[in-house]
Structure 1
């Protein structure tokens, strides 16, 4: 578990990680606290993985959640997407469920 509102480096400790021949060039994560539960440690943890493909960069944003946290997780990812679009209006966004 990670601290809320703290940056961290996601780890790849899956038993299948050795099969991944396209590992990201950069990865980072951040805890995004829920407004009404900030002091209680409730947070969504957004992971960002980046691949440098030469003339483009591919960015994957992921946020795991429990049975009741899907809305907060989605809003957290959407906030990062809006920040990318504001910084680069030409960025293309593809949503994967």
Structure 2
């Protein structure tokens, strides 16, 4: 049965945890990007992760977060696997903090 407008209106706006891993080990979260996230550090498993717009914006094997094509916060590692390098699992919580 398809979702109704009522279902969508009652849907949680954000889910601050890892919800999906792609083939490369990038970790998609359920957090929708908001302008207020710009310049903030993402905290995951007691690690701090800075924002970058592209993979080339960080050194090799460095973790970063970015807004993906779906408008969600995604965690990646340049030429690496974020899931493995950061010990991430489905349901791992994420949060933002001010720099």
Q: Same fold judged by TM-score > 0.5?
A: no
Write 1 or 2 for the structure with the bigger share of strand. Answer: 2
Write 1 or 2 for the structure with the bigger share of helix. Answer: 1
Q: Which structure exhibits the higher relative contact order, with contacts defined as CA atoms closer than 8 Å and separated by 6 or more residues?
A: 2
TM-score (norm 2): 0.22
